[in-house]
């Protein structure tokens, strides 16, 4: 995990941020310093105790959507990618892949829920502010072209084979191993990247071209058949 963290002035010097109590702002900075390289925090309550923050401070950050919460108790800093950027050779992917898979990146570079449904606020027992329902405003998924996949893989500077990734999901009609439609192909590629970086996984998938069933190969990639990419 990186030793240095950054904070965008557009976030921490905004009127909305400065209107929060000092204690809530201090909690935000502390969470930012202790988050992993993708902005996830697995033990936020422990950090709250360390810096003397109250439940109200966390509730303010959640209500104003400076952090997003998951039912697992994990939280993520919404504007993490706007605050921080790490080159791929220094980036250590988060271990909270299930939570990461529920998020997408908006046009400003901030995390947001992929299905536009706010996740239950596990700290207050209430739904987060801004809850929206699925409906006619939901964006329809459009499969990427091979060039789109190549461009994004190049942008991330990873070693993912874009042709293999594209052929795999095209063969599966852009559905995951459970048959659920893919909602965010970029997030799938990030998860794929994390899996391929594991040496034991690379040994198992080198015979990809010898496999006829893409679902079987996906199970090998994931390490267990009932886990989603």
Q: Among candidates 62, 67, 33, which has minimal Cα distance to 47?
A: 33
Percent of all residues in the chain with a pLDDT value above 90, rounded to a whole number: 28
Token pair for 143: 């499969």
18 and 105 fall within a common domain: yes
pLDDT recorded at residue 19:
95
In sequence order, the 6+-apart residues with CB closer than 8 A to the CB of 179 are: none
Q: Give the integer Cα–Cα distance in Å for 10 and 79.
A: 10
pLDDT, one tens digit per residue, over 154-187 is 888 777 888 888 888 888 888 877 778 888 888 8
> Worst-scoring range by mean pLDDT, 55-59, 112-116, 178-182, 211-215?
211-215
Does some domain include residue 120? no
pLDDT, one tens digit per residue, over 20-37 is 999 999 999 999 999 998
pLDDT, one tens digit per residue, over 126-139 is 443 333 434 444 45
The counts of H helices and E strands in the chain are 12, 5
pLDDT recorded at residue 47:
94
pLDDT recorded at residue 206:
46
Q: Which domain holds residue 43?
A: 9-113
Q: In total, how many domains does the chain have?
A: 2
Domain final position from 113, 132, 167 = 113
Burial code (b: 16+ CB inside 10 Å, e: under 16) for 70-84 equals beeebbbbbbbbbbb
Residue with tokens 């965010």: 184
Domain final position from 113, 138, 155 = 113
Mean confidence (pLDDT) of the chain: 75
Domain final position from 113, 128, 156 = 113
Q: Give the integer Cα–Cα distance in Å for 134 and 66.
A: 23
Does some domain include residue 208? yes
């Amino acid at each position: 995990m990186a030793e240095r963290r950054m904070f965008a002035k557009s976030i921490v010097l905004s009127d909305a941020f400065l209107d929060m109590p000092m204690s809530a702002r201090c909690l935000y900075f502390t969470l930012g310093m202790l988050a992993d390289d993708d902005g996830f925090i697995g033990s936020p309550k422990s950090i709250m105790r360390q810096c003397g923050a109250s439940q109200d401070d966390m509730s303010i950050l959640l209500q104003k959507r400076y952090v997003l919460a998951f039912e697992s108790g994990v939280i993520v800093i919404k504007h993490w990618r706007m605050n921080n950027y790490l080159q791929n050779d220094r980036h250590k992917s988060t271990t909270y892949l299930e939570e990461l898979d529920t998020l997408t990146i908006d046009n400003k570079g901030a995390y947001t829920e992929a299905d536009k449904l706010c996740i239950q606020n596990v700290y207050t027992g209430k739904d987060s502010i801004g809850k929206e329902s699925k409906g006619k405003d939901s964006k329809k998924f459009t499969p990427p072209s091979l060039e789109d996949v190549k461009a994004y893989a190049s942008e991330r500077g990873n070693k993912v084979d874009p042709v293999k990734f594209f052929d795999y999901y095209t063969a599966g009609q852009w559905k995951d191993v459970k048959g659920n439609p893919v909602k965010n192909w970029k997030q799938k590629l990030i998860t794929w990247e994390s899996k391929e970086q594991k040496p034991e996984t690379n040994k198992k998938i080198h015979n990809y071209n010898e496999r006829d069933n893409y679902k079987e190969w996906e199970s090998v990639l994931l390490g267990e058949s009932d886990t989603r990419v």
